[in-house]
A and B are shown apart, each in its own frame.
Chain A
Amino acid sequence: MTPVNWLLQGGQEILGILLAPLLMGWVGIWRAWLQNRRAPSLMQPYRQLFKLFHKEVVLAETASPLLRVTPYLLFGCMGLTASLIPMVITDLPLAGAVDVIALVGLLSLARVFLALAAMDVGTAFGSLGARREMLVSFLAEPALLMVFFTIASLNASTSLRFMVTGFAARGFYLYPSLAFAGVAFLMVLLAENGRIPVDNPETHLELTMIHEAMILEYSGRHLALIEWASALKLLIYFSLGFALFLPFGLTDSQQGWGILGALILFLLKLTVMGAGLAVLETVSAKQRLFRVPEYLGTAFLLAVLAILLHYLLGS
Chain B
Amino acid sequence: MTLLPLDLVGLILTGWGGLGLLGLVLPARLGRSLLFPLITGLSVLMAGAGLWALQGGAQTLVLPIGLPGMPFHLRLDVLSAFFLTLLGLAGSGISAYATGYFRRMAETQAGDFQRLTLLYAFFLASMGMVLVADDAYFFMVAWEGMALSSYFLVTTDHEIPAIREAGFLYLLMAHLGAIALLLCFGLLQSGAGGDYAFATLRHHSLSSFWSSVTFFLALIGFGAKAGLLPLHSWLPEAHPAAPSPVSALMSGIMLKMALYGLLRVLFDLLGQPLWWWGALLVGLGSLTALYGVLFAAVQSDIKRLLAWSSVENMGLILSGLGLTLLFHGAGQETVAALALAAVLYHALNHAFFKGLLFLGAGSVLHATAERNMAKLGGLIRVMPWAAGLSLVGILSLAGLPPFNGFVSEWLLLQAYLLRPDLPQPWLNMVLPLGAAVLALVGALAGFAMVKFYGIIFLGQARGLVPGEVHDIGFWERFGMGWMALGCVLLGLFPSSVILQLDTVTHALVGQGLGASAARHGWLWVTPVAASRASYSPLILFAVILVSVGLTFLGVRRFFHGRWRRAPAWDCGYPFQTARMQDSADGFGQPIKQIFESFFGLSREIPSPFDPHPHYHSEVRDPLWALCYLPLVRGVARLVKVVGGLQQGRISTYLLFSFTTLLALLALVTGTRP
Residues in chain A within 8 A of chain B (CB atoms): 53-54, 56-64, 66, 72-73, 75-77, 79-80, 94, 96-99, 101-102, 105-106, 108-109, 112, 115-116, 119-128, 130-132, 134-135, 137-139, 141-142, 145-146, 149, 152-153, 156-159, 162, 206, 216-217, 220-221, 225, 290, 293, 300, 304, 307-308, 311-312
Output the residue of A126, A138, A206 with the most chain B CB within 10 A: A138
- Closest Cβ neighbor of A60 among chain B residues: B568
Residue total for B at the interface (Cβ-Cβ under 8 A): 82
Not counting A59-B563, A64-B458, A130-B582, a sample of 10 additional A-B residue pairs whose C-beta atoms are within 8 angstroms of each other reads: A59-B565, A59-B566, A61-B565, A62-B381, A101-B413, A102-B406, A108-B443, A112-B446, A159-B531, A221-B559
**Which of B72-80, B395-403, B634-642 lies on the face that meets chain A?**
B395-403
A127 x B544 contact (CB < 8 A): no
The distance from the CB of A202 to the nearest CB of chain B, in whole angstroms, is 16
* Complex contacts, B569 vs chain A, CB 8 Å: 58, 60, 123, 216-217
Q: Which residues of A contact B56 (CB under 8 A)?
A: none
Q: Give B460's nearest chain A residue, CB to CB.
A: A122
Query: What is the count of residue pairs linking A and B with beta-carbon distances less than 8 angstroms?
Result: 257
Q: Which residue of B lies closest to A222 (CB)?
A: B563
Interface 1/0 per residue, B546-582 and A, CB below 8 Å: 0111111001001110111111111101001010111
Given A61-B565, A76-B548, A120-B458, verify A99-B534 contact (CB < 8 Å): yes
Give B415-438 as 1s and 0s: 1 = Cβ < 8 Å from A's Cβ atoms.
001010000000011001101100
Whether B399 lies near A146 (C-beta < 8 A) is no
Interface segment, one of B140-148, B298-306, B587-595, B625-633 = B587-595
Q: Would B536 and A97 count as touching, CB distance under 8 A?
A: yes
B533 touches A159 (CB 8 A): yes
In the complex, the chain B residue whose C-beta lies closest to that of A139 is B443
> Are B417 and A216 within 8 A (Cβ)?
no
B289 to chain A, nearest CB (A): 13
Q: How far does the Cβ of A212 sit from chain B's closest Cβ, in whole Å?
A: 10
Q: Are A138 and B447 in contact (CB under 8 A)?
A: yes
Q: Give bound CA distance, A180 to B377, whole Å.
A: 44
Residue B410 at the A interface, CB < 8 A? yes
Q: A61-B568, A122-B568 are in contact. Are A138 and B429 (CB under 8 A)?
A: no
Q: Is there an interface contact between A127 and B566, defined as CB atoms closer than 8 Å?
A: no
* Minimum Cβ distance to chain A for residue B581 (Å): 5
Q: How far is the CA of A106 from the CA of B537 in the complex (A)?
A: 11
- Measured between beta carbons, the chain A residues less than 8 angstroms from B399 are 105
| Shortest CB distance A117–B (Å) | 8
Nearest CB in chain B to that of A61: its residue: B565
The reply to whether A125 and B570 form a contact with Cβ atoms under 8 Å apart is yes
Chain A proximity of B409: nearest CB distance (Å): 8
Q: How far, in whole Å, are A216 and B380 apart by their CA atoms in the complex?
A: 21
Contact (Cβ within 8 A) B436 A142: yes
Cα distance A75–B554 in the bound complex, in angstroms = 12
The answer to whether residues A57 and B581 also contact, given A64-B380, A97-B535, A112-B446 and a CB cut-off of 8 A, is no
Contacts of B576 in A (CB 8 A): 123-124
Q: Is B439 an interface residue (CB 8 A)?
A: yes
Determine whether B378 belongs to the interface, using a CB cutoff of 8 Å to chain A.
Answer: yes
Asked if A57 and B571 make an inter-chain contact with CB atoms under 8 angstroms apart, the answer reads: no
Contact B555 A109 (CB under 8 A): no
Is B269 part of the binding interface, using a Cβ–Cβ cutoff of 8 Å? no
Instruction: Evaluate contact between A122 and B531: CB separation under 8 angstroms.
Output: no
Is B453 in contact with chain A by the CB < 8 A criterion? yes
Docked complex Cα distance between A158 and B564 (Å): 46
Given known A-B contacts A57-B563, A77-B544, A290-B593, A122 and B459 have beta carbons under 8 A apart? yes
Closest chain B residue to A297, Cβ basis: B594
* 0/1 string, B355-384, CB within 8 A of A gives 1: 000000000000000000000011011000
Contact indicator B544/A76 (Cβ below 8 Å) = yes
Whether the pair B581, A123 counts as a contact (CB closer than 8 A) is: yes
B524 within 8 A of A: yes
A158 to B399, CA, bound (A): 18
Chain A positions within 8 Å of B549 at CB level:
76
Give, as a whole number of angstroms, the nearest-CB distance from A176 to chain B.
15
| Inter-chain contacts of B428 with A (CB < 8 A) | 311
B444 within 8 A of A: yes
Question: Are A141 and B567 also in contact (CB < 8 A) when A64-B381, A98-B540, A102-B406 are?
Answer: no
